[in-house]
Structure 1
């Protein structure tokens, strides 16, 4: 993933990039031109660290609607020459998703842009998926010839067409094209559909790649061969799964020997297997492997430890939680996820050290933030509020909001109100259940969310339950 350039949290741009509720509130109060400029920058330069787990499209589409923003900037971005030279879903995906929501809100210009891009753009599949759930049948049928023209009528082109049909997220346009009155369209789509079914059957009938022999030694050798290949293939995790099928009690000595000092990929595989089996020596082997100069072995040690669920592992985590290495960080995360009240100080200390050392976007921060809420560590509220305000990850901010709901008595009258405008569904749902109505904006926002057809079902359930509760003091 790329590293986006995030503005300070106190600026309008920084708030919008983070997807915070205050971003919308500040944008609506700012000069319209300034708000639109910041909004457009967010949409055209996706600010998310990981677009697969962070939401922004509905958040930005709502603001476009409230500001009645023009779509000229998005149009220029989508149809820039770079789109054809080097089509990249990270460059255009957010803009296309925003257009999809705007189309759902009835913006005719957004629908027309999506249709045009589906016919001529580089990431046409994304635009087609957006249209598939919103556009009319006749309009989708009209796109059929343009989409099929992308695939030459050759063996290779037919294979590419079958792959596109197989990978389509929304099947509706393809079903319409398969029934098209024009035989040039319908027959080709039906043929591609048949090819897709045949390809799926072939993949199920033949092995997908090299497989190890049916013995512990062969599995460990297969793992090491993968690491020696060019480019390297990290097989230690799949090798550990194979060992679960082939290893018996008589193989334990060989596996312990490999986990203690075998070749690095074989050592990692054996280590993973023994920890999964809660072997009596696994924790000692993990402690030694965590200090290995081999990244493969050290990573396997940490990941193996985090999967363990035994009382012994939890006891060892208490001893390791103050270590200044990856194993210490993993131990702190284990205590945050599975520890008890006696571990509150250890979790809070690890949370403070991590934020102080690496900031509000540190790797592994979410588990510690969640743990502070799970253990109801009241004195963690100041650092949780800092994480909430400063992190550029809307997912981490949502976890911080939930933990603040358990640790900060002022959350309902404070940050929960802002959360009603947050970009993340789960954060809005939390706010709908907890924001106090002493703030005059809360009831108006709850009614707005209840009437919004694009809002998620879980949020609307929380909102309607709150509106029907008849308890305005909450």
Structure 2
């Protein structure tokens, strides 16, 4: 993950970077040139903090279609000299995904760009995966010489080809090429080599393994921190301890968790927390304040995994703390607490937003907890998170909570959410948005007819449309 430069939420660029539904609505009302410039900036400089959990490509592709935007900027970006120097997926992945959706909407210029980039670009495998979903057999077959030509014949090139085939997200092009008269023999050989390599990896041990005693496991965890590069083995060591430690080893584990070196201490803490040891909460409290990040992280993560009554009771005592342990305690109450914990969760939510902002790590748990505990007075701070967060995933959490605690949600944010970049947020909006706004039914019909829309969203949309139609018939009767 990285921290992109996000514009203020009240600007068109800021709305589009966040993937908010209001971004689309404002862009369509803005001067076309300014809207396209902001849209292009988003596509060429990925605004997501974590592309693995946040969606933007369909959102931007739809807006390109609405604005009838040209693809010259994307083309220049893809074939810029930087493509040779910066081969990270982050630079071109979003643009390629947008092109994939546009090709799915019938844009021949997008399909042409994907084909050209697959043949010449550094991130060719992403482009090929997009084409695998949208291109015809003839188009994919024509790419075989360019793709296979990236792998020179010989042991090294053949090994790289087998690895590329094995790691391909979409197998369709490779299957086509395996049946090709010219290239089929080489592709089939790469498939066989990949299967053989996988078999060999299964036979070989994956890495160093600890001996079978508590002391051996703790030493193995510590040795990981001395390796180059550093290997954080405390979590796997804790799993090993679950297999080798018995009641007679408790004293040694308690000593390691209290005074051991950092790797061993972290492993022992994790193991004792998993076993709900009666002394572990005191050890966690001490370790959470330790200057070693390995130890403090293990303490916080160990506490977060606890599901015991004692853990929840301790969380109620720690929730008022203004350090990381207090935040972890409030998060536990947000997930496991009862109605009596609403004030604690609300206080932690407000404190976290005030001190660390609307993108604080772990904020989603507190936001969801406000919904789970039905904390109505949390609505103002959750609305603030919804507006300001740069994370579309967190905004979706805020929307789900507002649907529970905010009576104005159906007439307010739910309408905007119909244009949101996240599938789950659009689905939520389809179930809640008030149909008194003329835009709602029109957008529901567009989503129902859009072949690129996700099945869960379309199911919710069609259910809502049928319910609305039935209600209208009853009223007219």
Counterpart CA distance in 2 for 1:83 and 1:370 is 41
Counterpart CA distance in 1 for 2:26 and 2:457 is 23
Equivalent of 2:207 in 188, 206, 209: 209
SS in 1 for 2:115: helix
What residue number does 1:89 align with?
Answer: 89
Within the alignment, does 1:45 sit opposite 2:17 as a pair?
no
- 4+ aligned runs moved over 3 Å, structure 1: 471-474
Counterpart CA distance in 1 for 2:215 and 2:221 is 10
What residue number does 1:261 align with?
Answer: 259
Counterpart CA distance in 2 for 1:460 and 1:397 is 21
Counterpart CA distance in 1 for 2:86 and 2:55 is 25
What residue number does 2:65 align with?
Answer: 65
C-alpha displacement at 1:209, in angstroms?
A: 0.7
What residue number does 1:348 align with?
Answer: 346
What residue number does 1:25 align with?
Answer: 25
C-alpha displacement at 1:2, in angstroms?
A: 2.1
What residue number does 2:309 align with?
Answer: 311
Deviations along 1:82-101, one digit per CA (max 9) or x if unpaired, are: 10122121010000000000
Within the alignment, does 1:9 sit opposite 2:1 as a pair?
no
Deviations along 1:148-169, one digit per CA (max 9) or x if unpaired, are: 1001112111111010000000
C-alpha displacement at 1:230, in angstroms?
A: 2.1
SS in 2 for 1:208: coil
Structure 1: where are the runs of 5+ without partners?
none
Counterpart CA distance in 1 for 2:320 and 2:85 is 51
Equivalent of 1:190 in 184, 188, 191: 188
SS in 2 for 1:471: helix
What residue number does 2:171 align with?
Answer: 171
The aligned length equals: 472
Counterpart CA distance in 2 for 1:326 and 1:303 is 11
Counterpart CA distance in 2 for 1:138 and 1:290 is 60
Equivalent of 1:394 in 367, 380, 392: 392
Deviations along 1:200-252, one digit per CA (max 9) or x if unpaired, are: 10111110111000111100000001111222111101100111111111111
Deviations along 1:280-302, one digit per CA (max 9) or x if unpaired, are: 11111111111212111111000
Q: State the Cα RMSD in Å.
A: 1.1
SS in 2 for 1:398: helix
Counterpart CA distance in 2 for 1:264 and 1:53 is 32
What residue number does 2:326 align with?
Answer: 328
Structure 2: where are the runs of 5+ without partners?
none
Counterpart CA distance in 2 for 1:86 and 1:230 is 26
What residue number does 2:299 align with?
Answer: 301
SS in 2 for 1:147: helix
Within the alignment, does 1:118 sit opposite 2:118 as a pair?
yes
What residue number does 1:237 align with?
Answer: 235
Counterpart CA distance in 2 for 1:367 and 1:471 is 37
Counterpart CA distance in 1 for 2:89 and 2:230 is 27
C-alpha displacement at 1:103, in angstroms?
A: 0.4
SS in 1 for 2:134: coil
C-alpha displacement at 1:326, in angstroms?
A: 1.1
What residue number does 1:277 align with?
Answer: 275
Counterpart CA distance in 1 for 2:64 and 2:299 is 48
Deviations along 1:411-437, one digit per CA (max 9) or x if unpaired, are: 001110000000000000000000010
Deviations along 1:5-56, one digit per CA (max 9) or x if unpaired, are: 1000000000000000000000000000000000000000000000000000
Counterpart CA distance in 1 for 2:5 and 2:206 is 40
Instruction: Calculate the TM-score normalised by the size of structure 2.
Output: 0.98
Counterpart CA distance in 2 for 1:161 and 1:319 is 58
Counterpart CA distance in 1 for 2:356 and 2:387 is 15
